[in-house]
Amino acid sequence: MTLRQLAESARSKAHAPYSNFHVGVALETVDGQTFVGANMENASYPEGWCAETTAIAHMQMAAPGARIKRVLVLGQGEGVLTPCGGCRQRLSEFSSADTLVECTNLKGDTRTFRMDELLPAAFDLDPSH
């Protein structure tokens, strides 16, 4: 399956009864493994989590230390859907500056970013940066 197909399948499993905004994410690791995630809302609205968070958690649980090569974020609405600020930071911690993040919507509008374009000044625990 393509990353788009995987993200579509994940999106169909989103739990978004409050916003009705379903998001699916598929990511591919440097060694070719794929992981997916969907957004999960709950009644304590700010305590839900994004699709990127779910995909990263699945990756880390199955393949500790894996690094992300590519990400596809699929959402509804007009224009492309980019990851929120928190997810940009989460993605950056498991990827590199040249990791590709493909942002798309249901109509197929797409824009691809490098990770360092999405989050040029990511938090980094390396004191030399």
Distance from the first to the final alpha carbon of the chain: 38
Residues linked to residue 111 through DSSP beta bridges, in sequence order: 103
Q: Is 52 one of the annotated active-site residues of the chain?
A: yes
> Of 52, 93, 102, 117, which one is the catalytic site residue?
52
Number of neighbours of residue 90 by Cβ within 10 angstroms: 21
User: Any idea which residues carry the catalytic annotation?
Assistant: 52
